[in-house]
Structure 1
Amino acid sequence: MFVINCGGVVVNQTNYWNPNDAPFWESKGKRIANRNLWISICNLLTAFSVWQIWSILSLQLIDAGFNYSTDQVYMLTAIPALTGAMVRFFYSIGVTYLGGKTWTFLSSIILLVPVLGVGWALTNTNTPYSIMVILAALCGLGGGNFASSMASIGTFFPRERQGAALGINGGLGNLGVSLAQFIIPIVITIPIFGVLGGAPQTIDTGNGTMSVWLQNGAFIWAIPIVVFSLLALFGMDNLPLEKPKLSSQLKVFQRKHMYLMTILYIMSFGSFIGYSAAFPLLLKGEFPHISTIQLVFLGPLLGAIGRPVGGYLADKFGGAKVSLLDVCIMVIGILGIIFFVQEGTKSFLGFFLSFLLLFASGGIANGSIFTMFPIIFGPMESPAAIGLASAIGAFGGFFIPSIFGWSIEATGNVSLALSIFVVYYVLCAVVIWYYYSRKNAEIQVDLKK
């Protein structure tokens, strides 16, 4: 039996937690699980916002007087993705030993270091680039929180509800990308912290000059970090579950399906985070005469909303079926983008709507693919599998913008990069169909759907 207090779950000698036990779930488990889910969402949303602050701040560094090259500015956008990818595997395993409450508190409160550091660095246009690189890397710690959060939350819910729960957790957490891209352009134009926020920078708008406080784009996240970290400390629980041995979790490296699922996760989450980083630059490059900075958040918003939808649909119809359909829709979105960037058919509206379709379908695929992990790997290996797949998938935040940049440099446009993505998505569709969806597939993910 559980007794709830402000510090978490206290168990008696039975040390019992089984959400698949219907009486236990209805009487106690559901309340505990939902409380932990919503606190996790708050912390994950903030972590994603910190992870992606450079996607907006980098756009105005040079205009604000920082003596950095264009390549250096792009690198500041890419570095957090690399850091987030590298730490995700360790975060997913670490949470299984310390517990959801302890890990969420520690991994959230540490984000104060990069946001205060970035804010301080942006108050001085003479800040060395090396300092900015270190701070950008520390922002990447926010990306690691996703793996630990997803590995933790799934254990709170019964099997038939895990897809929806993980979809809601990941989807609303992913909203942090959209939130950052919506809020930062607003707060940097207002001296909301007064003298405590430091002096503004001056930028040339083409029609004159204006003052901006770029540091506000970092300082603004300190408040939710503190609030939600404390909420985790006093409101979340460390479940009384058996601690999996590291050796048992590392067995996933011997599984063929670990690498197949990693390919699929790159297709879903890698696309989401990569396009989120590249979308502002692509809009600015393809349609420089149109002011789009207040529109870029819509793509990540649809992707984040699509994730819980994908989890729900996967619970209802099967993760493989939903994922296969969505990757086909993603191909349609890419083909639309290719069509609307060509001379003669170039259209901002067509380009923008095709990208929104790509974001939405990718978000749904992200949620549906995630539900396949517990079925394929089981409870002991799933945390490590999720950590490895999400770590490699997060590299999409670095490689997708890089491929776009390479395509522009080599050919003068983005069509080559988009064609590469089409081929990759078709490969992913074949993998889903052959290994998980067809009648004689090796693993019948949708057998009971």
Structure 2
Amino acid sequence: MAIDTNATTTGLLPPKASDDELLQRRPHRWIDRWLPEDQQFWEAVGSRTARRNLVFSILSEHIGFSVWTIWSVLVLFMPQKTYGFSVSDKFLLTTTPAALGSFVRLPYTFAIAKFGGRNWTVISAGLLLIPSVLALVLLKPGVSLNTLLVVTALAGVGGGNFASSMANINNFYPQRLKGRALGLNAGGGNIGVATVQIVGAVIIAVFGAATDPRVLLYIYIPLVLAVTATAWMRMDNLTEATNDSGALREVARHRHTWIISFLYIGTFGSFIGFGFAFGQVLAASGVAHPIYVVWLGAFVGSLIRPVGGALADRFRGSTVTSWNFVAMTAVSGAVLATSHAKSVPLFVTAFTVLFALTGIGNGAVYKMIPAIFHARALTKLNEGADPERENFQARRLASALVGVAGAVGAFGGVLVQIAFRQSFLSTGTGDAAYSAFIAFYALCAVLTWTVYVRSPHDSLIGV
């Protein structure tokens, strides 16, 4: 049965058309027609299709985050007397995956346009086997630091899954639902950090602190295989997402690309940097078994991320982001104060609140990304531009900015660990690092307020 293109774009869908006909589905799970802004199309077939892809995208991203940050747990299974690595060595082992993870986010974003969302999810999930199997083979007492630095760096491929997943899901949802959808996708992925840390805590509780760290890898390798298989069987490719030539060059010319990326250093960079470093910070502070509490911050920060997206949907992303950075500045001061109080419960509580604020900020900043280009599209529509073309352009550029901001933001995780490593090397405490965080969050609050809240340009109203 042929579908009337004009009828579809105006919301008049043929009453007896099947889902496959409405989507113009081709072999290998390709969808040729995708109109999320058309309410009738969305209710008939779009929402179900988008929701299914969101679920399996979250699973893939979740495992990606777990493999990316698995070394934040493995180093806690590696006492210095057995493996010979100092505190600064262990910070290096968790810095290399953060660095590669930030680097691969750009190509991962545009791999969606090259291969399709479903196809690239399968490939990127399968790539997680490389660092996992290498760690399983090489992680033994006597292994050299240089060898492990190569293995940990390869774990960075897990960090790329976030960028490709977010760019893919951004294409599936209409503007009015992007904040919630992207928040769920990111939050479900981010919680992979806490999950791998909880699994590590359970292993120690059951088998003891002297357990071979590779037990964790025996658990995660089958999970990687399972996620790869489900993505292959259940996800879809969108044809429109492959029409993406020049998106990176175009989005790089927008000054808001670099402002948003800078703000994302403060939110996601902090989240992932703290996720990698928190266990070592606790260990360096004299906590006997940091694995039992290290998961708490990442767990709260991940679960609350959709709240940031929902708040941004209601109150504007820029307003939520601005006030969130004010709160992060204040709570960082509390972390500094509690570190001097020598109270582990107070310190962990303050740090957990800071984790939660990074999660809220992540959701709010990511809501700003599609809103910027949606506002730009509305301006052009008022000038008589074609609605379908402008909506497509908004999704295309927003997906590109997701990749850029994700890459720059993830590099913030490297900076966080460098700050901690240098602070502990120089003074034996994290004081210098906490002071740097306070100054940076204050700067981000001022920048957000000045550019997006106080007097936004007409083309940014609603961001």
Match of residue 104, structure 1, among 121, 127, 143? 121
- After superposition, the C-alpha distances for 1:109-143 in whole angstroms (9 at most, x for unaligned) are 11111111101112x32334333222111111000
Distance 1:106 1:167, change over 3 A: same
Match of residue 322, structure 1, among 317, 320, 328? 320
Match of residue 346, structure 1, among 342, 355, 362? 342
Q: Distance in 2 between matches of 1:187 and 1:115?
A: 18
Q: Distance in 1 between matches of 2:193 and 2:461?
A: 30
- C-alpha deviation, 1:19, in angstroms: 0.9
Distance 1:289 1:299, change over 3 A: closer
Tell me what 2:203 maps to: 187
Q: Distance in 2 between matches of 1:8 and 1:30?
A: 20
Alignment of 1:5-404 (within 5 A): 9=29, 15-63=32-80, 65-122=82-139, 124-187=140-203, 211-241=210-240, 243-286=242-285, 288-342=286-340, 345-377=341-373, 378-404=394-420
Distance 1:339 1:129, change over 3 A: closer
Distance 1:446 1:299, change over 3 A: same
Q: Distance in 2 between matches of 1:214 and 1:18?
A: 48
Amino acid at match of 1:399: L
Tell me what 2:7 maps to: none
Distance 1:248 1:143, change over 3 A: closer
Distance 1:49 1:7, change over 3 A: farther
Amino acid at match of 1:403: A
Any stretches of 5+ residues in structure 1 without a counterpart?
192-204
Tell me what 1:200 maps to: none
Tell me what 1:194 maps to: none
- C-alpha deviation, 1:371, in angstroms: 0.9
Distance 1:236 1:242, change over 3 A: closer
- After superposition, the C-alpha distances for 1:127-166 in whole angstroms (9 at most, x for unaligned) are 3433322211111100000000000001111110011000
Q: Is the 8 A contact 2:296 2:352 kept in 1?
A: yes
- C-alpha deviation, 1:253, in angstroms: 1.9
Q: Is the 8 A contact 1:310 1:368 kept in 2?
A: yes
- The number of residue pairs the alignment matches comes to 423
Q: Distance in 2 between matches of 1:438 and 1:70?
A: 44
- C-alpha deviation, 1:8, in angstroms: 5.8
SS for the counterpart of 2:280 is helix
Q: Distance in 2 between matches of 1:133 and 1:412?
A: 24
Distance 1:392 1:438, change over 3 A: same
Tell me what 1:196 maps to: none
Amino acid at match of 2:284: G
- After superposition, the C-alpha distances for 1:246-286 in whole angstroms (9 at most, x for unaligned) are 32331222221111111100011001001111211222222
Any stretches of 5+ residues in structure 2 without a counterpart?
1-17, 374-393
Q: TM-score, normalised by structure 2?
A: 0.86
SS for the counterpart of 1:219 is helix
Tell me what 1:426 maps to: 442
Q: Is the 8 A contact 1:76 1:136 kept in 2?
A: yes
Distance 1:190 1:339, change over 3 A: closer
Q: Is the 8 A contact 2:372 2:460 kept in 1?
A: no
- C-alpha deviation, 1:407, in angstroms: 2.0
Distance 1:375 1:8, change over 3 A: farther
Q: Distance in 2 between matches of 1:293 and 1:222?
A: 21
Q: Is the 8 A contact 1:320 1:445 kept in 2?
A: no
Q: Distance in 2 between matches of 1:439 and 1:68?
A: 52
Amino acid at match of 1:101: R
Q: Is the 8 A contact 2:308 2:363 kept in 1?
A: yes
- C-alpha deviation, 1:346, in angstroms: 3.4
Q: Distance in 2 between matches of 1:63 and 1:416?
A: 25
Q: Is the 8 A contact 1:2 1:10 kept in 2?
A: no
Q: Normalized per residue, which structure has more helix?
A: 2
Amino acid at match of 2:43: E
Q: Is the 8 A contact 1:189 1:213 kept in 2?
A: no
Q: TM-score, normalised by structure 1?
A: 0.89
Q: Distance in 2 between matches of 1:412 and 1:87?
A: 33
SS for the counterpart of 2:83 is coil
Alpha-carbon RMSD: 2.2
Amino acid at match of 1:33: A
